[in-house]
Structure 1
Amino acid sequence: MGVYSEGFLEAVDAALADFEVEIRQLGAAASDAQILAAIERVVLALNSVSQGVAGGVIDTDEREQLCLFIDEVMTENGIEVGELAARHGVSRYAITDRWRRW
């Protein structure tokens, strides 16, 4: 893991915390559209952080950790990530790909 500025880390933490709250509020009964919108929001927020905050760029190792975090948050809140991904023609590990720039 690289050395990141405090501002970069705070921005990443804020994006992930917002995602966690949103997914918790949506829960397992959420529609695919609601879940995908939440994924899109967190990925776009992380894109913004990676491209705009001095003191950090999300690299390969961090990308894998972030994608795993997103998957785990959904799984912990009763969302069948593999089924969601399959319904949309992607693997569970590619669910962020259409928006991700990191």
Structure 2
Amino acid sequence: MAKRPTTSWREDIAEEAEELAAGTLDPESACMAALFPEALLVATDTVLDSFDAELPGLDGAEDAQVFAAVERVVLALNAVDSSHGGDGYATMEREQLCDYIDEALTEHGVDVPALTSRHGLGRYQLTDRWRDW
């Protein structure tokens, strides 16, 4: 099962908090809670919940339906990023979100390489048309 980026981000926050509590991390070096405020995590999970709810209906779907689902999730993530000053998702987070979308589609029967190839795209260009982050 594809691991949500927000799960990893929460784990990183918890690990850093444990290190701070144990005194093994200098407080000036702590950054995870600032990078991933709860509002960003909740908003991102809400978007991914909606995307996940669509996935079962995409096995065997027409390309247009799959692209429409990708467009919806990407535009919603654009809105989340924008609501956080355009700084919600840095490079690593962008890659994790794109990987999640790809893996989740694949797990639900979508052949992402074939889909993108049919439309003259590389596999990792699936979200590029709509992505601002």
User: TM-score scaled by structure 1?
Assistant: 0.91
The residue aligned with 1:53 is 84
Relative contact order, higher structure (CA 8 A, sep 6+): 1
Say which one has the larger Rg.
2
The residue aligned with 1:8 is 40
Q: Contact between 2:58 and 2:65, CA under 8 Å: does it hold in 1?
A: no
- Structure 1, unaligned runs of 5 or more: none
Aligned identity (percent) is 48
CA distance in 1, matches of 2:76, 2:49: 11
The Cα of 1:27 is off from its aligned counterpart by 3.0
The residue aligned with 1:39 is 70
The question of 1:86 aligning with 2:117 is answered yes
State the one-letter code of the partner of 2:48.
L
State the Cα RMSD in Å: 1.4
- Structure 2, unaligned runs of 5 or more: 1-8, 10-31
Match of 1:23 among 51, 55, 65: 55
The Cα of 1:95 is off from its aligned counterpart by 0.6
User: TM-score scaled by structure 2?
Assistant: 0.71
The Cα of 1:92 is off from its aligned counterpart by 1.1
CA distance in 1, matches of 2:44, 2:37: 11
Which structure 1 residue ranges, 4+ long, deviate > 3 Å from structure 2? none
